[in-house]
Amino acid sequence: MKGSLKSKLTIDQLAAGILQGDRVILGQAITLIESTRAADQITGAALLERIISKTGHAIRIGITGVPGVGKSTFIEAFGKHIISQEKKLAVLTIDPSSQLTKGSILGDKTRMEELSKNPNAFIRPTASGNTLGGVAHKTREVMLLCEAAGYDVIIVETVGVGQSEVSVKNMVDFFLLLMLAGAGDELQGIKKGIMEMADGLVITKADGDNTKKATEAMAEYQHAFHLFAAAESGWTPRVLTSSAVTGEGIEETWKMILIYRDQTMASGFFDANRSQQNIAWFQEYFDQLLKDDLQKFDSLQSINKELIKSVGNRTLSSRQAALQYLAAYHEAIRNK
């Protein structure tokens, strides 16, 4: 039924449904955007152009954290509070995928059971596949579709494996790091790299016997933030403790994000950062299109292999090989 309905919808119907906040059509549009079929990609691109002027109004929040920190539990409590403020919330959860089958666990919708039942919440699990940094290939486009559908807050939840989280930082307004108190020395390397990108840090599970450790950790992390170089935004990251059980820190986290938004809007950083993100996306898209175009020329594949072999055995410099490959590409275009 879904397949037949999707096939009958025109770009105009998809755009109209999205702008009207139709959740079923939004889901179908996301499936279209995520499709690898050439025809779907063309339709999806046209749909994005149709709705692009209706995007950009939402607060975009990236949330990451070490394994076991309780991201889904925190996001459910946090999301319910946001909705209580008369906001519509979209949560884009990025699940780990099998490197062999490319299948995905896609369990976040189950773990956020209460939030998923709320009519003002839209939860979309997406498999991460091989995408760097735990962000799905089409997360940016999905974010835009959700904004056009009227969602006021977009949360992007990452896998949280501690690698290349900069990809999330570069698509959101506020980057929130969730940590555990006393997580162990083995996580120190992960903490350092991500902490330098975080706009705020929340220590989770700050209840019961863990309350004292969480309070101590909060002071340590706040001190660590003051040792970092000043952020371009002019904002000093704040540290909070929270408990999804007692509700402590949930409202304070939302207030922290609103204060950040207001301050960076007043300074001009908020809009400047959005503009820089758009430019970076354009450059990344172009780089990907260029790589895809190279693959279309069969003659270049054999040339590429020979050049790689020559560079590997040091009979040709890397720079000269790159120049020869570029010249071969230009020749292939002329002869197309």
Distance, in Å, from the CA atom of 293 to the CA atom of 316, rounded to the nearest integer, reads: 25
- pLDDT (tens digit per residue) in 82-136: 999 999 999 998 765 534 334 444 455 557 888 989 999 999 987 655 554 446 5
Q: Is the model more confident about 184 or about 141?
A: 141
| Torsion angle defined by CA atoms of residues 124, 127, 132 and 134, in that order, rounded to the nearest 10 degrees | 60
Phi/psi class of residue 124: alpha, beta or left (left: φ > 0; alpha: ψ in -120 to 50)? Answer: beta
- Whether 173 shows a pLDDT value over 70: the answer reads yes
pLDDT of residue 98: 39
pLDDT of residue 191: 59
pLDDT of residue 126: 73
Which of 20-34, 172-186, 197-211 bottoms out in mean pLDDT, i.e. has the lowest? 172-186
- Whether 170 shows a pLDDT value over 70: the answer reads yes
Work out whether strand 59-65 and strand 174-179 pair parallel, antiparallel, or are unpaired: parallel
Tell me the whole-structure pTM to 2 decimals: 0.87
- Whether 185 shows a pLDDT value over 90: the answer reads no
In the chain, the N- to C-terminal Cα span, in Å, equals 42
Domain boundaries, the chain: 1-54, 56-267, 279-334
pLDDT of residue 161: 54
Distance, in Å, from the CA atom of 99 to the CA atom of 122, rounded to the nearest integer, reads: 27
Please state, for a pLDDT cut of 90, what percent of the chain lies above it: 58
- pLDDT (tens digit per residue) in 286-318: 998 899 899 899 999 999 999 999 999 999 999
- Whether 15 shows a pLDDT value over 50: the answer reads yes
The pLDDT confidence band at residue 38, using thresholds 50, 70 and 90, is confident
pLDDT of residue 42: 92
pLDDT of residue 97: 52
- pLDDT (tens digit per residue) in 92-106: 987 655 343 344 444
pLDDT of residue 6: 45
Around 98, how many Cα atoms within 13 Å sit in the side-chain half-sphere?
Answer: 6
pLDDT of residue 65: 85
Q: Return contacts of 95-99, CB within 8 angstroms, 24+ apart.
A: 95/125, 95/126, 95/127, 95/128, 95/159, 96/128, 96/134, 96/159, 96/161, 97/127, 97/128, 97/129, 97/130, 99/130
Distance, in Å, from the CA atom of 306 to the CA atom of 239, rounded to the nearest integer, reads: 53
CATH annotation of 1-54: 1.20.5.170
Which of 211-225, 246-260, 270-284 bottoms out in mean pLDDT, i.e. has the lowest? 211-225
* Class level of CATH domain 56-267: alpha beta
pLDDT of residue 100: 38
State the average pLDDT over residues 53-76: 92
Question: pLDDT averaged over the chain?
Answer: 86
Q: Is the model more confident about 225 or about 15?
A: 15
Tokens of residue 219, six digits: 């002071």
pLDDT of residue 239: 95
The pLDDT confidence band at residue 141, using thresholds 50, 70 and 90, is very high
The pLDDT confidence band at residue 50, using thresholds 50, 70 and 90, is very high
